[in-house]
């Protein structure tokens, strides 16, 4: 029966690309016979928590479609989640708002409440293992290091986790439990707030208190379960509005090459070209061209002030994603506006009726 499951997986899913490969596991993007994408994990261990994950459902967890558990390996086919990892967002220099971080903290805490109730400890909570989907749903992925909690056990059988995010007990001092995930939660959100794993204070006193309690060295001094942490987070249902502090700003200079913005820009460009063409070929439309110059003179400063400037979506303009690039970004906009103004000034005399 097990061999039939393995054969089914190998024949049903076609590998497309390898995402990662190590001595412990290989992760690939695959597609099924209906060309639907999925993630295939080949783990060189029969002892995983994926049989439990296959039986549970939560919007913050990837669905398990197929599973093979052999004598020396585990093959998992799970949901492909479209979105961006927090690691990628951090590498891109994205600055998060306090409201956004509060929302994600509550979502992750709800996931921890759910998996801890199923006796599962993730043990590897870090930015690369969290995906923010297109509809802003936080997804906790990669349970390769996860384990089930065994009451009365002094230490973990195998010590796994990522240095910096792993709780002290994950290095063999004691058995990991729900409080180990809470420690990693605190390290993660301190990094999202400040850019540092530990040692840098969060300017918001409520979050500073919560994260400090999460990351106590002694598990007895942390939140004893995710429900207690969630209760504290929910007391902050209406976080203070972002201040001018860079840590609390939302990056408004992210490179947003979205379909909607691109279509708006293309339609606006087409409309302009049609007017220019009409002005060049029909006397009654030539006067319109003078208004185009006037609009162009006023458009860029006004549109920039209203954050509607569509040139931000063009691929030939560098994606200034960090707020410290604000001066360069503004200079580039003004340069484009000035060049356009010069071109229009040179073409104007050919079309404008005196």
pLDDT tens-place values along the chain, 354 residues long? 556 778 888 888 999 999 988 888 899 999 998 889 999 999 988 889 999 999 999 999 999 999 998 888 999 999 999 899 999 999 888 888 899 999 999 999 999 999 999 999 999 999 999 999 888 899 999 998 888 865 544 444 444 568 888 888 887 667 788 999 999 999 999 999 988 887 788 989 999 999 999 999 999 999 999 999 999 998 875 444 544 444 333 333 333 334 444 455 555 556 656 655 665 565 655 565 566 655 655 555 555 444 444 444 344 344 444 444 555 655 666 677 667 666 766 665 555 444
User: In whole angstroms, what is the distance from residue 21 CA to residue 148 CA?
Assistant: 24
C-alpha angle 265-267-270 in degrees, rounded to nearest 5:
110
Cα–Cα dist 84/106, whole Å:
18
The helix or strand, by DSSP H or E, that contains position 120, with its residue range, turns out to be strand 120-121
Helix axes 326-351, 283-305, angle to 10 degrees: 170
The pLDDT score that the predictor gives to residue 93 is 83
pLDDT for res 169? 83
Backbone angles phi, psi at 277, to 5 degrees: -65, -45
Token pair listed for 347: 């073409």
pLDDT at 126: 94
The first and second tokens of residue 195, run together, are 């850019």
CB 310 within 8 A of CB 256: no
The Cα 254–Cα 241 span in angstroms is 21
**Can you state the angle between helices 226-234 and 178-194, rounded to 10 degrees?**
40
- Residue 304 Cα to chain centre, angstroms: 26
Position 257 scores a pLDDT of 36
Neighbouring residues of 115: CB distance < 8 A, sequence distance ≥ 6 = 58, 61, 121, 122, 140
Q: How many CB atoms are located within 10 Å of the residue 324 CB?
A: 10
DSSP 217-286: SSGGGS-SSHHHHHHHHHTTSSPPPP-SSGGGPPPS------HHHHHHHHHHHHHHHHHHHHHHH-HHHH
Domains, the chain, ranges and CATH?
2-79 (3.30.200.20), 83-248 (1.10.510.10), 259-351 (no CATH)
What's the CA gap between 83 and 308, in Å, rounded? Answer: 24
**Alpha carbon 92 to chain centroid distance?**
10
Cβ atoms of residues 227 and 178 within 8 Å: no
The answer to pTM > 0.75 is no
Tokens for 25? 């596991």
The owner of tokens 């439309």 is 285
Roughly how many angstroms between the first and final C-alpha of the chain, as a whole number?
A: 88
> What secondary structure does DSSP assign to 156-177, as a single string?
-SS----TTTS-GGGGTTS---
CA proximity to 214, closest of 279, 282, 83, 125:
125
């Amino acid at each position: 029966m097990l061999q039939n499951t393995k054969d089914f997986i190998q024949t049903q899913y076609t590998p497309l690309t390898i995402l990662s490969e190590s001595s412990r596991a290989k992760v690939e993007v695959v597609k099924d016979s209906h060309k639907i994408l999925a993630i295939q994990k080949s783990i060189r261990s029969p002892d995983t928590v994926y049989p439990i994950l296959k039986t549970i459902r939560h919007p913050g967890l990837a669905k398990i479609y197929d599973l093979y558990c052999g004598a020396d390996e585990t093959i998992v086919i799970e949901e492909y989640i479209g979105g961006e990892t927090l690691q990628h967002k951090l590498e891109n220099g994205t600055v998060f708002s306090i409201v956004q971080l509060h929302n994600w903290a509550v979502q992750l805490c709800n996931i921890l409440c759910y998996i801890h109730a199923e006796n599962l400890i993730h043990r590897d909570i870090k930015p690369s293992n969290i995906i923010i989907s297109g509809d802003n749903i936080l997804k906790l992925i990669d349970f390769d290091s996860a384990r089930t909690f065994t009451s009365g056990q002094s230490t973990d059988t195998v010590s796994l986790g990522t240095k910096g995010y792993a709780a002290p007990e994950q290095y063999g001092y004691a058995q990991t439990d729900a409080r180990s995930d809470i420690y990693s939660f605190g390290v993660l959100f301190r990094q999202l707030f400040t850019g540092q794993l530990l040692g840098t204070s969060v300017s918001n006193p409520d979050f500073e208190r919560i994260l400090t309690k999460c990351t106590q060295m002694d598990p007895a001094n942390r939140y004893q379960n995710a429900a207690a942490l969630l209760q504290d987070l929910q007391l902050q249902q209406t976080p203070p509005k972002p201040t001018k502090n860079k840590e609390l700003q939302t990056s408004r200079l992210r490179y947003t090459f979205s379909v909607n913005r691109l279509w708006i820009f293309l339609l606006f460009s087409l409309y302009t070209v049609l007017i220019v063409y009409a002005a060049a070929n029909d006397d009654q439309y030539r006067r319109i061209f003078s208004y185009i110059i006037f609009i162009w003179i006023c458009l860029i400063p006004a549109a920039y002030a209203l954050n509607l400037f569509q040139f931000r979506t063009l691929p030939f303009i560098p994606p200034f994603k960090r707020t410290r690039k604000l001066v360069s970004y503004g200079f580039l906009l003004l340069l484009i506006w000035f060049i356009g103004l010069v071109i229009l000034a040179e073409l104007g005399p050919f079309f404008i009726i005196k």
